[in-house]
Amino acid sequence: MEGRQSKIKVWVNGTFDIVHIGHIKLLEYASTLGTVRVGIDSDNRVREKKGEGRPYNGIEDRMEFIRSIRFVDSVVSFDSDNTLIDCIKEWEPEILVIGDDYNVGNIVGSDLFKQINFFKKLPNKSTTNILKLIS
CATH number for the domain spanning 105: value is 3.40.50.620
User: Can you tell me the mean pLDDT for 40-67?
Assistant: 95
State the pLDDT confidence band at 90, using cuts at 50, 70 and 90.
Answer: very high
CB half-sphere exposure, 108, CA atoms < 13 A: 17
Decide if 108 contacts 81 (C-beta within 8 A).
yes
Residue 104, pLDDT score: 61
Side-by-side strand order, sheet with 9-14: 74-78, 35-41, 9-14, 95-99, 115-119
Q: Backbone phi, then psi, for 42, in 5-degree steps?
A: -65, 165
Nearest to 95 by CA among 22, 13, 8: 8
Arithmetic mean of pLDDT over the chain: 89
Domain containing residue 91: 2-134
Identify any residues that bridge with 99 across adjacent strands, giving them in sequence order.
Answer: 119
Overall domain count for the chain: 1
| Share of residues in the chain with pLDDT > 70 (%) | 82
Identify any residues that bridge with 119 across adjacent strands, giving them in sequence order.
Answer: 99
| Share of residues in the chain with pLDDT > 90 (%) | 73
User: Can you tell me the mean pLDDT for 61-84?
Assistant: 98
Report the C-alpha gap between 114 and 116 in whole angstroms.
7
Is residue 31 pLDDT above 90, yes or no?
yes
